[in-house]
Amino acid sequence: MTYQDDPIIQKNRWLILIILNLFTFMATLDGSIVNIALPVISRELRLPVAQTEWIVTAYLMTICAAILFFGKLGDIVGKIKVFRTGMMIFTVGSLLCGLSDSLPAIVASRLVQALGASMTMANSQGIVTDIFPGSERGKALGLTGTFVSLGIIAGPSLGGLILSGLGWEYIFWVNVPVGLVALAIGWRKLPVDLSKLKVRIDAAGSAMFTVFILLLFAGLLLGQQFGYAQPWIIASLAASAVVLVSFIHFEKKIAAPLLQLSLFRNPLFSLSILCGFLVFVSNSCFNIIAPFYVQDILGLTPSQAGLLMMLFPIVMVVVAPLSGALSDKIGSELLTFIGLLVLIAAQSGMATLGPDSSIALAGTWMALLGLGSGLFQSPNNSLIMSKVPKTQLGIAGSINALIRNIGMVAGITLATTTLFGVMSAKAGVRIKDFGSASPDLFIAGMHVVFLTASAICLTGALLTGWRLWSTRRNAHTKPQNA
């Protein structure tokens, strides 16, 4: 008996998808929505802005450190059981965040919130793959991918709207009523788990992976603030590489590893994971640079800037489900390739913008970014999850979510490092913040950032194009060799 054989579950499958996507949206939204509230929190709690950045950093670090563990735990005790628990923990964490009145309290509450988020992120795609038949899986995963990207991109816009009418606490409290409603429906509609692995959790591997993430993020995020030439930053990044190599070597030797390395022997899975990472790095460059361009260079108000930047997620929301449904009929590889080509054009277009560019032109390139992302994400998620055995769906989904979050951090690091590096080189002095640079310096740095993002998408397109060519060549030669 499978979920696809149960008529009640099949009747409720789209409602179940809505519940899964609500928490997927809130969990990813809370990784980006807080950024816009940091100046307000800093002012009201009398904290330096550099310290308040830990409110964001602690959330992302915890998710990445815990997500593989909860993906594996979902395969062992049940993906739905772990997801339900994560729903409760995330909702409680959101409530505690809004009630906090000091930095330690907010950071501690964010850690609780992040644990719940990682439990839901790690298992949502596996649940979707389990419940939906192959003929609808691409469409369902496409909707999930849409809510992921929508949460990432829409954070600054929604955060600005909430802050304009309410206090910073409501950025967190908005999750509570939504979470309670989703919990009430989910408790009745989410089915019991059917497949479980009878293995022990890999505690040693989990600890090693957590140390790797902490060292990597410490090096990447603190390097932005203090410079990557600092000996202790270099030591942190070098140590993270050593721990990662040790972790992989350890995982190869044990019977029930945290990370099933055999998944990466499938070239479709590995290449799709890599391309997904590249796209999130590229899109994160846009997320960090575009708000400053449209406000400081084009002179838009925060609300006008939010509306303009919403073109990206709005177009993606429309395109991604259509792309997912189309991938169920014609396959995913061609669509991912087309999506990457559109992203190359859009990022290259962003690199041509300047202080005299029209709002319409900027909006066109942003809408094209949404089109390319929508064409790419849904089929790519389908490619990743369709190549995984049912007993490993939890860990596969968590790998996908982990790569997404690391891609976001890597993209932010790449964008800020490149921007400040170009501006500093042209100015002849070190520039460490956006406000201390003239518009012409910012534009010069922005152009290099977007050209770099375009080159990253080009790398993904070349890999995807080679895969598409190889697949079609093999399909033509097989009948002749038979």
pLDDT tens per residue across all 482 residues of the chain: 677 777 888 888 888 888 888 888 888 888 777 767 776 787 788 776 557 777 877 888 888 888 888 888 888 888 889 999 999 999 999 999 989 888 899 999 999 999 999 998 888 888 888 888 877 877 787 677 777 767 776 776 677 777 777 888 888 888 888 888 888 888 888 888 776 667 778 888 889 989 998 898 888 877 776 777 888 889 999 999 999 999 999 988 887 788 778 778 887 788 888 998 999 899 888 877 887 788 788 888 766 777 788 888 888 878 887 887 787 777 778 888 999 999 999 999 999 999 999 999 999 999 999 999 888 887 887 777 776 776 676 677 778 778 887 888 788 788 888 888 888 888 887 776 665 668 889 899 999 999 999 999 999 999 988 888 877 777 666 555 54
Rounded to whole angstroms, the Cα distance separating 21 from 270 reads 25
Q: What is the pLDDT of residues 397-406, one digit of tens each?
A: 778 778 887 8
Query: What pLDDT is attached to residue 245?
Result: 93
State the DSSP string of 103-131: HHHHHHHHHHHHHHHHHHHHHHHHHHHHH
Query: What pLDDT is attached to residue 372?
Result: 93
What are the structural domain ranges in the chain? Answer: 3-202+254-471
Q: C-alpha 314: how far from its chain's center?
A: 17
Query: What pLDDT is attached to residue 436?
Result: 61
Rounded to whole angstroms, the Cα distance separating 295 from 435 reads 12
Give me 237's structure tokens.
């990044």
Residue 331 region by backbone torsions, left for phi larger than 0, else alpha for psi between -120 and 50, else beta: left
Query: What pLDDT is attached to residue 391?
Result: 66
Query: What pLDDT is attached to residue 482?
Result: 45
DSSP 295: I
Query: What pLDDT is attached to residue 478?
Result: 59
Rounded to whole angstroms, the Cα distance separating 340 from 275 reads 9
Query: What pLDDT is attached to residue 153?
Result: 67
- Calculate the alpha carbon distances from 298 to 111, 148, 356, 358, 435 in Å: 37, 29, 8, 8, 15
Contacts of residue 165, Cβ cutoff 8 Å, sequence gap at least 6: none
Q: What is the pLDDT of residues 419-456, one digit of tens each?
A: 888 888 888 877 766 656 688 898 999 999 999 999 99
* Torsion sign across C-alpha atoms 19, 22, 24, 27: negative
Q: Say if residue 91 is exposed, middle or buried (CB neighbours under 10 Å; 0-12, 13-18, 19+).
A: buried
Query: What pLDDT is attached to residue 304?
Result: 78
pTM score, whole prediction: 0.79
Query: What pLDDT is attached to residue 92?
Result: 95
Place of tokens 């795609």: 125
For 3-202+254-471, which CATH class? Answer: mainly alpha
